[in-house]
Amino acid sequence: MAAKSGTKRTARVGLRATHSLGGDVMNVLVLLLVGFIMVIPLVYVVCNAFKPLDEIYKYPPDIIVRNPTTGNFKDLVVLLSDSWVPFSRYLFNTIFITVAGIAGQLVFASMAAYVLEKRVFPGRDGFFKLVRTTLLFTTAVTQIPTFIIMTKLGWVDTYWAIIIPAWGGSMGVYLMKQFMSSIPDSLLEAAKIDGSSEMRTFWTIVMPNVKPAWLTLIIFQIQALWTATGGVYIFSEQKKTLSYAMSQVMLGGISRAGAGAAVTLVMLVVPIGVFILSQSQILQTMASSGMKD
């Protein structure tokens, strides 16, 4: 008993030592410094969108705008309104591709990860090794094989040329499988004993417990699909994305530098906005979903 009490006192002393006031202050200062360094590029992009041309080309450049103007956004609206394809069409194409790609990737990746993690079948380990291997290949490497496949299927110059490859992304399978390993098998067995079907168990037990994974996956997919130009697979102007339309604005040279700065901010708003809205929920669910056997 004396040995146990001595051990507890030693643990408490060690805990107080590791949480000293000086150490806490140092941690806060380091975090503030790192946060300040990381936020500088975002502040620069926001300020750049409101700079007149003389400030954009000033050297050395100023991070903070001195004479803010909304002229860059007005120029962007004028340029887009002059296009023979309405701006709303580009926006619809991007939203449709993004939503459809995210929904399919989430469903198929989750189902595949569930089978790989919670079911035993011949070749399971080999298949997962193949999934991990595909993570080594960048989009540039797979563009030619993807284009050949889309051509054979007759999906070139359609939305599916972007949506279907997004559904088969290996990152989603890997991410979801890693999170599903934290779900105890006893929980699934109890659901089966209670008469729950396989699909009901998947949607009502497994998916809520891996909420951090699919929220993170949604953020990754928004970043990839919202900025997808589709230039490799889509040729019709009416089917092109907002990112493509914005990129054409930025090709106008020096006279469109202000509009180009506005384009950069516009394309960042949605991914950053989604991340800001969901980050608290991601952190909360990560902290509360550590179920173990």
Tens of pLDDT, residue by residue over 149-173, are 889 988 888 899 889 888 888 888 8
pLDDT band, very low/low/confident/very high, at 1 (cuts 50, 70, 90) = very low
Q: Which residue has the tokens 């004479």?
A: 67
Where exactly are the structural domains of the chain?
A: 2-69, 77-288
Tokens at residue 254, please?
Answer: 């020096």
Quote the CA–CA distance of 36 and 143 in Å, as a whole number.
37
The two three-digit tokens of residue 91, written as one number: 């926006």
Q: What is the DSSP letter of 255?
A: G
Distance CA 238, CA 225 (A): 18
Q: What's the rounded Cα separation, in Å, for the pair 232 and 159?
A: 12
Tell me the pLDDT tens digit for each residue of 133-148: 888 887 778 888 888 8
| CATH number for region 77-288 | 1.10.3720.10
Amino acid at 191: A
pLDDT at 19: 62
